[in-house]
């Protein structure tokens, strides 16, 4: 007869608690966190502790169960990685097909009204549209300072001094941080400026087309 890992006090349990009678192979422990209620956790932990203290075989089975869980977790990680790579291949194939179809649609040219022609099927319609535009940095050195964003990492003491007062020591720390900081160009602000009619040195907007599937 197999021993049970956990038997709740029958005097205070409900009928559903028969689910807590776990086999020695410990497979049911996969659901222990959900199966054992907070009220019964202390009793469960006590019974487990007693068995581990008294029975050498139980210790080995617990160790084997933990190894089993680790192996299953690793298998799940590997499967997740495989599925992620598979999903990536499907997405890459979709994008390749979108490029093919877009090329064909663009070859059709425009209709009499000057609108891009469409490829129509019974379920799907393919057409092209101009993108909103992408900011291209032609010369980063020419980008005005107003479009540069710098993220600084300062220690707490320096930040406190900045708040208190901009003394010479603090100014020096800030200058040192600025020297090692890498500014990021704010393309969103640049695009807004160019769209508004301004000229931004070192930057321009390029427009392309994308495939529309309806």
pLDDT value of position 159: 74
The residue among 89 and 29 whose pLDDT is bigger is 89
Average pLDDT, the chain: 77
Residue 2: the pLDDT is: 44
Choose the most confident range, by mean pLDDT, from 74-83, 99-108, 112-121: 74-83
Ranges 1-15, 64-78, 128-142: which has the least confidence: 1-15
pLDDT recorded at residue 10: 45
Question: What element of type H or E holds 137?
Answer: strand 134-137
Residue 123 confidence (pLDDT) above 90: yes
Gap between the Cα atoms of 181 and 184, Å rounded = 10
Residue 22: pLDDT over 80:
no
Consecutive H or E run containing 161: helix 156-164
Residues 162-200: pLDDT tens digits?
Answer: 777 778 887 787 777 777 777 788 888 888 988 899 888
Cβ atoms within 10 A of the Cβ of 79, count? 10
pLDDT of residue 75: 94
Name which residue leads in pLDDT, 59 or 203: 203
| Cα within 13 Å of Cα(22), Cβ side | 22
Strands 148-149 and 125-130: unpaired
What does the alpha-carbon distance between residue 44 and residue 25 come to, in Å, rounded to a whole number? 17
Q: Please count the other Cβ atoms lying within 10 Å of the Cβ belonging to residue 57.
A: 10
Which residues contact residue 206 at a Cβ distance below 8 angstroms, ignoring those fewer than 6 apart? 133, 134, 136
């Amino acid at each position: 007869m197999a021993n049970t890992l956990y038997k709740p006090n029958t005097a205070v349990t409900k009928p559903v608690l028969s689910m807590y009678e776990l086999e020695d192979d410990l497979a049911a422990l996969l659901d222990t966190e959900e199966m054992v209620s907070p009220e019964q956790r202390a009793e469960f932990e006590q019974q487990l502790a007693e068995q581990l203290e008294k029975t050498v075989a139980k210790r080995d089975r617990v160790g084997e169960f933990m190894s089993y869980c680790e192996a299953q977790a690793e298998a799940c990680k590997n499967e997740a990685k495989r599925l992620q790579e598979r999903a990536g291949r499907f997405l890459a194939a979709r994008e390749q097909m979108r490029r093919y179809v877009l090329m064909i649609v663009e070859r059709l040219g425009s209709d009499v009204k000057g609108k891009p022609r469409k490829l129509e099927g019974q379920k799907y319609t393919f057409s092209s549209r101009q993108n909103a535009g992408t900011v291209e940095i032609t010369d980063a050195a020419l980008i005005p300072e107003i479009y540069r964003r710098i993220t600084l990492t300062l220690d707490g003491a320096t930040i406190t001094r900045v708040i208190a007062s901009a003394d010479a020591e603090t100014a020096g720390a800030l200058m040192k941080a600025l020297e090692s900081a890498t500014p990021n160009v704010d393309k969103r602000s640049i695009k807004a400026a160019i769209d508004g009619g301004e000229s931004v040195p070192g930057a321009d907007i390029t427009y392309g087309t994308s495939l529309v599937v309806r």
